Structure 1
Amino acid sequence: MANDLVVVFGGSGFVGKQVVRALAKRGKRIRIAMRRPHLGQDLRMLGDVGQIQLVQANVRFPESVDAALEDADAVVNLVAVLHEKGPQTFQALHVDAARTLAEAAKKRGILRFAQMSALGAAPKGSHYAKTKFAGEQAVRELIPTATVLRPSIIFGPEDHFFNRFAQMAQTASTIPLGGVPLIGGGKTKFQPVFVGDAADAMCAALDRQDARGRTYELGGPGVYSFKQLMQFILAEIDRRPILAPLPFVFAHPLGLLIEWTCKLVPFINPPLTSDQVAMLHRDSVVGADPNAGRIADLGVTSLETIEAIVPTYLWRFRPYGQFQTRQTA
């Protein structure tokens, strides 16, 4: 309902900003709980004057979480990481943090709780997938009415998929015989969903009575193999590095080598980890859970495509940037 107070954890990230923007458009009052609110003053501009409040909270300290939920009507949990580094582990952020938020929400009698998970979340598989599933279970045990959203890869101007591989291709194209690995032959399938559509689904999950206690799989209008996505990226940025098939048996040790090397260099995020390789063993498309709803069930039916959105922000990886137009076949 309009004028509800929604507390968002993880509201300063790529998906979080769009969720905050979508909530603001629906007239919600928003409280963004973050570790360093003084660094997020720009987030206030996502809504009207006074509509968005920033408060200090750390998921490792339950007292700060409880204080952030004072007088709240709903909670959104977007806290997540794509790779582990230092204390930012999958267990700490996907499971322990989710349980801490759910415990605080239950204590305050908050029944509307939206948990962002991921397609592929399961008790078996990569460590990322297992902790995402464990986080869902931790929330559901405490708040049975919680709604879980499982998106495929999410795309948009600040995404971690198209931007990352476009940058890899840009770098590889400057090296003689440089290439981009197609892990597992590039056969893994994805169903990318636009960040704005995922944000609309999150808002609907909070508002719709029929969404309580349900799980929804979020996918866009198209299904692509990893190889097809890489070919699309290369065509958009006009780069021609070698697409080199890399069997899983070699990709796993390569991922281990890269992540251990990056651990020795502060402030560098690994472009590939062994756990991300493990994630590629499973397709990321809707339909894995026959009991789960779809994004259309939340009223989000006009979905954006990668062809319409991705070119608007990958131009900076072209040889001549915005001054170069894509050559059509």
Structure 2
Amino acid sequence: MDLKQVNQANKNIEYSIVSASIFCANTWMTLIAPLVIGLFASKLFASQDFTPTEITLYSISITIHIIFAVIIFYAGNRRSTTLAVEESLTETEKYKSEIIPKAKAVYEVSKTQQSVTYLMTLELESLIDEVRSRPVDYPLAQGLKDWEAGLNRILWHLVDHRTQLFGYKGDSLYNFALYMYDETSEELCIKWRSHDNRLNTSNRRWKPGFGHVGLAFIQGEAKICQDIAISSELSDSATIESDKKNYRSFISVPIKDSYNILGGNKPLGVLVFTSNHVSQFSWERDKIFTLTVAKILSMYIERHMISLVEGTKNEREGK
């Protein structure tokens, strides 16, 4: 017999005892006590002496009356032990079915976030060491190839751990993309992308201020949307019907120009995570992690931009 059954049995016993006590008390108060009081009053006003037997009976009656009065008082103000146990059992059940699994899931995600951040940091350190060890006459074309390969090395950890990080399921269509700002065209262009092979992508460009990519860029702050179809911030002109189906929720994080590569007035680009499911992302769960990834990318981009600028300068000078 488990604790619930034991508590239910105790509850039934407690209910029976309390019900019987209240019934007896009410019966005494409404039927017997008035008769006893009437007899006592008749004897008292008749100026007759009470016999020892009558004194004993009236004393017992007073005692019983006080006891039943106390029972009625406590019955109206009592807190059942079994009810308290039942509340504790309900709370324990809630912990077991909701709170503990949620806490466990948060712990697992946090552990994965730490692991992925660590792996990305190791890749960043390795790539920066590789850039620093390049000779002065390192070909610019090879540097551009290395830049793209480095992005993939850093960001592939997100793709590899997307299920643990963001809770993607079998029918979830993931899409991760890095947009960089092109000063010539004044547009945000894709420099790296990984997506579900069931998605048909166009790799379109975004003007600052248009779409969630452009909004995150021009406002310089991370954006999250649980459902693009009902977003009040994104106008209908900024999205098409396929977007509302395939890119239903998203997080867009600007890559800050922390090292003033382009003057520091606007971000270097935007890192985007999307899903065809609503509420795929959680600000509480994902904000710090995605901002950390953006910072890692900022350091990588800064190092490579400086290297590419130096490479271009060396080629012009014929070194």
| TM-score, normalising length: structure 2 | 0.24
Of Structure 1 and Structure 2, which has the larger fraction of its residues in helix? 2
TM-score of the superposed pair, with normalisation by structure 1 = 0.23
Structure 1 or 2: more strand by fraction: 1
